[in-house]
Amino acid sequence: MAVKIRLARRGRKKLAKFDVVVTDSRSPRDGKFIEKIGTYDPLTIPASIKLDEERAFSWLMNGALPSDTVKAMLSYRGIMLKRHLQIGVVKGAITQDQADKKLAEWKEQKALKIQSKVDNVSKSKQDAAKARKEAESKIREARAEAIKKKAEAAAAAAQAAATPAAAEAAPAETPAAEAAPEAQA
């Protein structure tokens, strides 16, 4: 029986989540499996991978073949490197202490890379939010300025409309006022 480590889909439409399962290669994607060894959620940033590393390592050492996606996930978590180092120990190329030391160093470096990526993502989100708020405040200020100019223009127009009416009324009174003194004389 050929054993594979692959993904089994679950979740609803457009919100997929996957189980990492060990299964017979002849069984369907979401069908019967031997053991569930983890989960994978590609929708988070960075994608969240939860694996039982010891079980995955033991299945790999017993000959289970990972699918391409699962192989990438196992490499990301260092399980494929651990397998490679363990094969070197079995062949006598290195000692177990050397293999453990190399794996620990690699995991420390990988943890730093992952943390820097998480920090960059959160920083970019904060920068984007800050830029969006600044743009909104500029737009708000521009609108307030436009409303102020419009109100000033309307007030000036009303003032201009009131001034000619008063100017027309004043000259009409002036001849009458001039005619009145003439009538008295």
Give residue-wise pLDDT tens across range 26-44: 888 888 889 999 999 999 8
CB-based contact 5:18 (threshold 8 Å): no
Domain 3-66 is classified in which CATH homologous superfamily? Ribosomal protein S16 (3.30.1320.10)
Q: HSE of 164 in the Cβ direction (CA atoms, 13 Å)?
A: 5
> What does the DSSP 8-state code read for residue 66?
E
5: helix, coil or strand? strand
Q: What is residue 7's predicted lDDT score, i.e. its pLDDT? A: 94
Per residue in 72-113, pLDDT (tens digit) is: 999 999 999 999 999 999 998 899 999 999 999 999 999 999
Q: What is residue 31's predicted lDDT score, i.e. its pLDDT? A: 84
Tokens of residue 25, six digits: 């290669």
DSSP 98-159: HHHHHHHHHHHHHHHHHHHHHHHHHHHHHHHHHHHHHHHHHHHHHHHHHHHHHHHHHHHHHH
Q: What is residue 117's predicted lDDT score, i.e. its pLDDT? A: 87
Please check the confidence at residue 54 and state whether its pLDDT lies above 60. yes
| Of the candidates 28, 53, 49, 29, the residue with the CA atom closest to the CA atom of residue 39 | 49
Its pTM stands at 0.66
Cis peptide preceding 164, ω within 30 of 0: no
Average pLDDT, the chain: 87
Helix (H) or strand (E) holding 163: helix 96-184
Q: What is residue 162's predicted lDDT score, i.e. its pLDDT? A: 80
Hey, where are the domains in the chain? 3-66
Q: What is residue 105's predicted lDDT score, i.e. its pLDDT? A: 95
Per residue in 134-146, pLDDT (tens digit) is: 999 999 999 999 9
